[in-house]
Structure 1
Amino acid sequence: MSSDRSLNYDILIQQDRLPEVGETFTGNELMLMPGGKGANQAVQCSKLGLNVSMVGCVGNDIYGEHLINALHENNVSVANVLKRGTTTGIGIVQILESGDYCSTIIKGANYLLNENDISDNLFDGKPLVILQSEIPSHIVEYVIKVASMYQCKVILNNAPARSIAPSTLSSVDYLVVNETEASFMAGSEVSSIDDAHSCAAKLHKMVRSNVIITLGEKGAVLSSDESTMHFPAVFCPEVIDTTGAGDSFIGGIAYCLVNNIPLTKAIPFAAEISMCSIQKYGGQSSFPMLADVAHALDYSDL
């Protein structure tokens, strides 16, 4: 499985609230961690036991070295992680007492990935590729096109949300977005489960087969060729930090797809994985191993 996507060095600031415009505000704690949606998703997949190759660019700096080392330590292949003569992508994440967060991304080397960096060997005989929108649009379109040629299934996490050509979306096998991203793509508000049902059904007409909209504490909605259905959220005893929760969820979905587990069982399993990740600070360091969550996978009727 390959992960064509972003690598960011995350600067996490734990604070009681967001400052007002023009205000200098004192945070409570500073944490420095490897991140980026692409790297996060790759690490969660690897922690669940999948063989993962990361494709992307870092800068020729200490932050890039740190990101490469973190991937290597988590058994993700870095043979296709390239160094460019610029700064590594940076994510500045502000974490509130509630566990909610907001972030600002500096794209850095992520946007220097080009088509020549992407070998056909990454798709030939591979079951799945995961993409998101922290890399250039034309690279997303190119990877989806090549993956389709090799009958390699595509998960697209359109985050941060941006416009995608209809011809590209029609080759996406699994579109996974949150309510904000879904609202942007469908052009309709998603503020309830009913809204999510309508939005998922609308987006389903744009992709090849499946749409998953994650709704945080409201659970998730799946629209497939068979039906549109809601899955309740998994109870979480304590929310510490939701950074990377969506990436952890996608890792769970990918694990199930590679192992031919249907989405109706994959979504509750992925929700359990995501729930585990938000009970600790950070992204990759909070992601569970397969042994931590295997109990949540319903093997009946498989």
Structure 2
Amino acid sequence: MTKRVAVIGSLNYDIIVKQQRMPHQGETFIADALIQGPGGKGANQAAQCAKLGMPTMMIGKVGQDRFGDALVGSLAAIGVDTSYVKRIGSTGLGVVHVMPDGDYYSSILKGANELLTIQDIEEIAEELKEASFIILQQEIPHHVTEHVIERFKDSQIQIVLNNAPARSISKNILQYVDLLVVNESEAAYMTGQPVTTIAEATETGKELQQITGNTVIVTLGKEGSIVVNSKDSIYFPAKKVNAVDATGAGDSFIGALVYGLSQGFLLEECMKFATEVSAITVMKEGGQDSFPTKAEVSRILVI
């Protein structure tokens, strides 16, 4: 049986500015280039799942504007089911400043993402029950994210939560999350502990694992990632590549991770696969356009 993923989250139109550095306060700084395209953590994760060939449905909201047209159109073009993307208000925007080493600074205008409601989820609850995975992030209203986790806690659906941007979540909710994915700053926010080294990330991952009781992944950008479960913690170094733009790389990682799980890969195999996929992503400019397809990563599908 083919496993299906439902992504409930944000859709943002990205405006990406490439520049040598961020301006100082009060300074006008001349940038090098402008790239525009589809983004948003939810849409990005859905895009990567679909590009790898996984049946994917997107649940969210965009505006009644040209940005909304572009976002829905781009997802539909790569095979995402956009039947559950509603149109209201103005589309969320992401303004991203990309530095020469690929690192970035990002600001978000919530727009229609903030208008997603519990009622929207309840209207499609039966359809969601057909999914094998639900992926959530934190660019939609917090209470909607928590409702989804509680609503499907007793189902066979695996709940994947990317707590980004970082928000406080009660232990009562986290215990129903099957897979928690956070980067170093999000892990630090959740535990109140600094995360600047691999050792600190490992300890933080263990602390979060004690809360969820399930699997926790702490991503460290170009330093790699750590997976912690009830039995062990394993460090996976990032692949050394010529990084051009890290925009969406974390979302690409999550999409690839869930794809691996859907194929029955062992968790260690999923981590290696997701690391390879995100490495391909950072070698190209832009967000979703840089995400590799199944054909592009076919050389590493047999792990």
Aligned partner of 1:6 in structure 2 is 10
- Aligned CA-pair RMSD: 1.0
Instruction: Give the TM-score of the pair, scaled to structure 1.
Output: 0.96
CA drift at 1:298? 4.5
1:116 pairs with 2:143: no
1:233 pairs with 2:233: no
1:80 pairs with 2:84: yes
1:181 pairs with 2:186: yes
Moved over 6 A (4+): none
> Using the alignment, how far apart are the partners of 2:96 and 2:130 within structure 1?
37
> Using the alignment, how far apart are the partners of 1:173 and 1:78 within structure 2?
25
CA drift at 1:149? 3.1
> Using the alignment, how far apart are the partners of 1:268 and 1:188 within structure 2?
27
CA drift at 1:291? 1.9
- Residue number among 162, 166, 170 corresponding to 1:161 in the alignment: 166
> Using the alignment, how far apart are the partners of 2:54 and 2:109 within structure 1?
29
Please state whether the residue corresponding to 1:256 is helix, strand or coil.
helix
Aligned partner of 2:219 in structure 1 is 214
Aligned partner of 1:291 in structure 2 is 295
Contact 1:129 1:147 in 2 (8 A): no
Q: Which amino acid aligns with 1:97?
A: P
- Residue number among 155, 159, 177 corresponding to 1:150 in the alignment: 155
Contact 2:217 2:226 in 1 (8 A): yes
> Using the alignment, how far apart are the partners of 2:155 and 2:168 within structure 1?
25
Aligned partner of 1:101 in structure 2 is 104
Contact 1:46 1:74 in 2 (8 A): yes
Listed one character per residue, the Cα deviations across residues 155-195 of structure 1 (whole Å, up to 9, x for unaligned) are: 10001111012111110000011111111111111111111
> Using the alignment, how far apart are the partners of 1:97 and 1:218 within structure 2?
18
Q: Which amino acid aligns with 1:296?
A: I
Aligned partner of 1:196 in structure 2 is 201
Please state whether the residue corresponding to 1:148 is helix, strand or coil.
coil
1:250 pairs with 2:291: no
Q: Which amino acid aligns with 1:99?
A: G
Unaligned runs of 5+ in 1: none
Please state whether the residue corresponding to 1:226 is helix, strand or coil.
coil
Aligned partner of 2:276 in structure 1 is 272
Q: Percent identity?
A: 43
Aligned partner of 2:46 in structure 1 is 42
Instruction: Give the TM-score of the pair, scaled to structure 2.
Output: 0.96
Q: Which amino acid aligns with 1:258?
A: S
Unaligned runs of 5+ in 2: none
Is the deviation greater in 152-161 or in 115-124?
115-124
Aligned partner of 1:51 in structure 2 is 55
Please state whether the residue corresponding to 1:291 is helix, strand or coil.
coil
Q: Which amino acid aligns with 2:250?
A: G
Listed one character per residue, the Cα deviations across residues 232-273 of structure 1 (whole Å, up to 9, x for unaligned) are: 11121x110000000000011100111121211100110000
CA drift at 1:219? 1.2
Aligned partner of 2:139 in structure 1 is 134
Please state whether the residue corresponding to 1:121 is helix, strand or coil.
helix
CA drift at 1:293? 1.5
> Using the alignment, how far apart are the partners of 1:148 and 1:100 within structure 2?
36
CA drift at 1:210? 0.2
- Residue number among 70, 74, 79 corresponding to 2:74 in the alignment: 70
CA drift at 1:123? 2.6
